[in-house]
Structure 1
Amino acid sequence: MPSRPNIIFILTDDQGYGELGCHGNTVIQTPNLDNMHAESVRLTNYHVGPTCAPTRAGLMTGHFHNSTGVWHTIGGRSLLRQDEYSIANAFSDAGYKTGLFGKWHLGDNYPYQPQDRGFQETASHGGGGIGNTPDYWGNNYNGDHYAVNGEWTPFEGYCTDIWFQEGLKFVERHKDEPFLCFITTNAPHGPFIVDDSYSRQYDGQVENEDRANFFGMITCIDENVGGLRRRLDELGLTDNTILIFMTDNGTACGAKSGEGQFIANGYNAGMRGIKGSEYEGGHRVPLFIHWPNGGLTEGRDVATLTANVDMMPTLMELCGIARDDLVFDGTSIASLIRGDDIDWPDRTLVTDSQRITDPIKWRKSATMTQRWRLINGEELYDIQADPGQEKDVASDHPDVVEKLRADYDRWWDKVSEQFSGTIPIPIGSPEEPSVRLNAHDWRNPEAECAWNQASVRAANKCNGYWEIEVAQPGTYRFELRRWPKEEDRPIVEDIEGELKTYSDIKDGYGGGVAVPVKTARLKVGDIEQESAVTQEDKGILFTAELNAGETLLQSWFIDDAGEDIGAYYVYVDFL
């Protein structure tokens, strides 16, 4: 009997179904992924969340993303609820070595980090992308610091290369024992930064420089996939490794949508909508699975409706991990992948894109069966006859609309049970006695926050509160800062240079504006404190005696005119 199979799961960010040569794109160069496609079972009717964090929440738990607390990418709505049990937990508990290298995007404080959720070895950037506010200050894809098991560590080289290198090091360390390895690139998510050797080949073939760089980032990923597969061959691991390639949502830059979300330019494999859309192009993505010992070596399409919530139970079944105590919203599709001759029942799946503080029923939703797509509870498309979703046939099939609306209602009742629940960040926990809160996770009704470092430099006027949990009663110290400790600069001081937008950080971030604040204020629960801000202060310190339990924390920097911003970074220590 061969040993239990290994798993390497490659997940790319913002690459759509159409950014592959094997899917009909005649411009992009993806020879290694095209080869993998030819040697894999392909899920061709596979659906995810229309944006990054929601897809990851469903993939990691087998639960609908809204029910896990993750329905946005910022504003504290990308934190995976503490009681969710992840695929890494399951495999770790079953004796697998587990690792994640790249993007996590489900929380940056204990207990939401990947190393807190079952991944034994990790290297990752902060937030939803390199250069987000939780990330190490100044990261811009090359020569960055990444969190290795939670500790910021300097690296040389380009981010995509590093994720694959770290993933391969993990594989080499554990080649004689079963492992689960996620390689989760932040590419090709913007900013679109890649070496010219990858992007300039697309000059004159695509509509703009952003798309050339976007395609170049994918070609770099493709090159790394080829290197990974060659190394697996050298290590003798190919046959017993389940190798998966998947993307997390529709395209961000390979196509542009116009009126009615129909494609105005670019290539999207005939689908309507792009990233964030309720139409097919927002959430139908590729998934290839190659496993020689499992007989998965020849190209075969599976056109049955499937979803990211199916992957956790599927991989557990393929690896012989039986857990009757776990309940999933998805189902194992192992029999479909194996090609077993079974009568697969039709089912209804729902995905949606909320991207607001509090979810709204029917908002940007797709209620799906094998044949039908009900969009926003109103438009109906026969996806088999009309894959481009051009003709709304709701008036011709009122019975189908009624049934799908009832299916959606049942789904909504389930996922909305915890909408009003809190997802607090602990302070004073023995596991993380020093905590850095940041503006990426601010809560406010508009879900407005300084979610990237360019916004911090621009001193964006916004504020919000953090949901916190005081882990133990006692004295706490709070340090309010405009700049993170890595910058070590007075609160009011500028950074010399021209301001740049987040999309323009390839050659560095540029400058930062001065903020003429005079007063700092902190509110923790019912406790409020205020202090003057001098020209030399890098941080303003407050201490407070707190009782254990959940509460809210908010900060202010206020100028003479009464205008304010929040402290983009608050450092909290249990004394």
Structure 2
Amino acid sequence: FSASGYRTAIFGKWHLGDNYPYRPQDRGFEEVLIHGGGGVGQGPDYWGNNYFDDTYFHNGKPKKFKGYCTDIWFDGALKFIEANKNRPFFCYVPTNAPHGPYNVADKYSKPYRDKGVKGNQANFYGMITNIDENMGRLMSRLKELDLEENTILIFMTDNGTSGGHDGGMRGKKGSEYEGGHRVPFFVRWPAGGLKSPGDVDRFSAHVDVLPTLIDLCGLKRPAGVKFDGASLAPLFKGSAKRWPDRTLLVHSQRIEHPEKWRKSAVMTQRWRLINGKELYDIQADPAQKKDVADVNPQVVEQLRRSYERWWADLSQGFDKYCEIVIGSDEQNPTRLMSHDWHCPNPAWSQSAVRRGSKSNGFWAVEIQRDGTYEFELRRWPVEVDAPINGAIAGGKAITATKARLNIADKDLILPVPQDAHSVTFRAELKAGKTRLQTWLTDDNGTSRGAYYVYAKRL
């Protein structure tokens, strides 16, 4: 979009990297307002955020806001749209709600509690009601700005429900069954020549979104890119004479090293092959109650072959890491957080930091250039600025006496003074890809990684 002259912005949840070169501002977004990590209050997020009056990252800098998170995202989006109403714009508003923790103002959850809905379920529905209210604000403002007719408005979600109605489908968020990954994709473009309002019944997926928008918006196609998806524009406009039966694949790995067939679905217009074994006729059995693999062996074999081809292509990158770059002009210093450790159970949340989780792992990093680098090891982030061994409210004290840093060919050890807020190492490093790992260890040998490391090229 940016390369085609559009103004670009994101407001809300990114969850594709908190460090250069994976931040939204490194990926084409000119205006950025986001929380950190995968949810408000997770480890990379600003410490203490709880959805209300939080500090978020505006164009890479922490900024304090007043109000509820979803309202803030839409406030930012509306200001951006108003400022760019006379030129093409792409505005992306991925809300963190209704993700846990389920926090929302009482006025949104009370109507559900009054109807007998209990606890977090009422809050979950209240968060959705707030999103609905904000969508109404957005649509009304587009109309007031005379942008309604020629703005493509898309409403969708990123996964199946985590706690609400499942639409009669099997499974919820994270499941390989239909309820885990089948989502709405509502498109509105009054002046776009779309067909009469109604359902598009052809099989489609997330990989189709970019090719479709390239067609609808007349964007420059990136050179040398082979898209996995197809443009849905002919279906939207009612001009598709024929639409081929496609085979698409999804899986939910959520582990360090992907495993073949793990939580996978091979899908066509009619069939769903689950984990390479179970087969469901999704048209006759949308709830996926009856496994018909035994009576359709040829279908199973055909779908398994499709998976094998897909896996052979995908697995070529399984031994590669997405290195966080240290020492770049774009982000110096770089804050590393244990959310991004490579290990079985990283300390990804602020609650894990509070309880002093005895976990550890390495960061995959790339030193951008030769030079002197400084590494400040902390248990608490700088905005908390508490002693390494101290216990803040709701937290647990530790008794670390020794700090260790291992990076490239350097393995360094320093003492941890009792009241120290951090321990700082310096090292001469060569440019290149490597691993960075830290340890905070007490006299009994109990160890954990430094959850926060601030790395700086001097």
Relative to structure 2, which stretch is displaced further, 200-209 or 149-158? 200-209
Give the one of 91, 100, 105 matched to 2:10: 100
Partner of 2:341: 442
Partner of 1:277: 175
Partner of 2:430: 547
Cα distance between partner residues in 2 of 1:352 and 1:206: 36
Conservation of the 8 A alpha-carbon contact between 1:492 and 1:515: yes
Q: How does 1:110-125 map to 2 (within 5 A)?
A: 110-125=20-35
Shift of 1:423: 1.1
Partner of 1:525: 408
Partner of 2:264: 365
1:504-536 Cα deviation digits (max 9, x unpaired): xxxxxxx11101111111101221111111122
Give the one of 291, 295, 303 matched to 1:396: 295
Amino acid at match of 1:151: K
1:352-375 Cα deviation digits (max 9, x unpaired): 100110000100000000000000
Partner of 2:328: 429
Conservation of the 8 A alpha-carbon contact between 2:4 and 2:220: no
Mark the CA change 1:532 to 1:334 in structure 2 (over 3 Å): closer, same or farther. same
Amino acid at match of 1:210: N
Shift of 1:245: 0.1
Shift of 1:286: 0.5
Partner of 2:187: 289
Partner of 1:328: 227
Count of matched residue positions in the alignment of Structure 1 and Structure 2: 457
Partner of 1:19: none
Give the one of 30, 54, 57 matched to 1:147: 57
Give RMSD over aligned pairs.
Answer: 1.1
Cα distance between partner residues in 2 of 1:98 and 1:557: 42
Cα distance between partner residues in 1 of 2:208 and 2:240: 19
Task: Find out whether 1:460 has 2:357 as its counterpart.
Answer: yes
Mark the CA change 1:369 to 1:351 in structure 2 (over 3 Å): closer, same or farther. same
Q: How does 1:496-575 map to 2 (within 5 A)?
A: 496=393, 511-575=394-458
Conservation of the 8 A alpha-carbon contact between 1:289 and 1:296: no
Give the one of 477, 483, 487 matched to 2:380: 483
Give the one of 198, 209, 227 matched to 2:137: 227
Task: Find out whether 1:136 has 2:46 as its counterpart.
Answer: yes
Conservation of the 8 A alpha-carbon contact between 2:176 and 2:265: yes
Cα distance between partner residues in 1 of 2:114 and 2:108: 14
Shift of 1:170: 0.5
Q: How does 1:65-214 map to 2 (within 5 A)?
A: 91-203=1-113, 205=115, 208-214=118-124
Q: How does 1:54-69 map to 2 (within 5 A)?
A: none
Partner of 2:278: 379
Shift of 1:207: 5.1
Cα distance between partner residues in 2 of 1:556 and 1:115: 32
Cα distance between partner residues in 1 of 2:381 and 2:391: 13
Shift of 1:206: 5.7
Mark the CA change 1:99 to 1:537 in structure 2 (over 3 Å): closer, same or farther. same
Amino acid at match of 1:242: I
SS at match of 1:292: coil
SS at match of 1:224: helix
Shift of 1:297: 8.1
Shift of 1:296: 4.1
Relative to structure 2, which stretch is displaced further, 186-195 or 523-532? 523-532
Q: How does 1:208-357 map to 2 (within 5 A)?
A: 208-254=118-164, 267-296=165-194, 298-323=196-221, 325=223, 326-357=225-256
SS at match of 1:219: helix
Relative to structure 2, which stretch is displaced further, 172-181 or 323-332? 323-332
SS at match of 1:153: strand
Amino acid at match of 1:286: P
TM-score scaled by length of structure 2 = 0.98
1:31-63 Cα deviation digits (max 9, x unpaired): xxxxxxxxxxxxxxxxxxxxxxxxxxxxxxxxx
Shift of 1:547: 0.5
Conservation of the 8 A alpha-carbon contact between 2:160 and 2:182: yes
Task: Find out whether 1:474 has 2:371 as its counterpart.
Answer: yes
Report which structure shows greater RCO (CA 8 Å, sep ≥6). 1
Partner of 1:36: none
| Structure 2 unaligned regions, length at least 5 | none
Cα distance between partner residues in 2 of 1:393 and 1:244: 36
Conservation of the 8 A alpha-carbon contact between 1:481 and 1:540: yes
Give the one of 307, 313, 316 matched to 1:408: 307
Partner of 1:4: none
Cα distance between partner residues in 2 of 1:462 and 1:273: 31
Shift of 1:338: 1.3
Shift of 1:295: 3.4
Relative to structure 2, which stretch is displaced further, 277-286 or 320-329? 320-329
1:464-513 Cα deviation digits (max 9, x unpaired): 000110000011000000000000111101114xxxxxxxxxxxxxx111
Partner of 1:71: none
Mark the CA change 1:477 to 1:324 in structure 2 (over 3 Å): closer, same or farther. closer
Question: Percent identity over the alignment?
Answer: 57
Amino acid at match of 1:152: P
Cα distance between partner residues in 2 of 1:118 and 1:322: 14
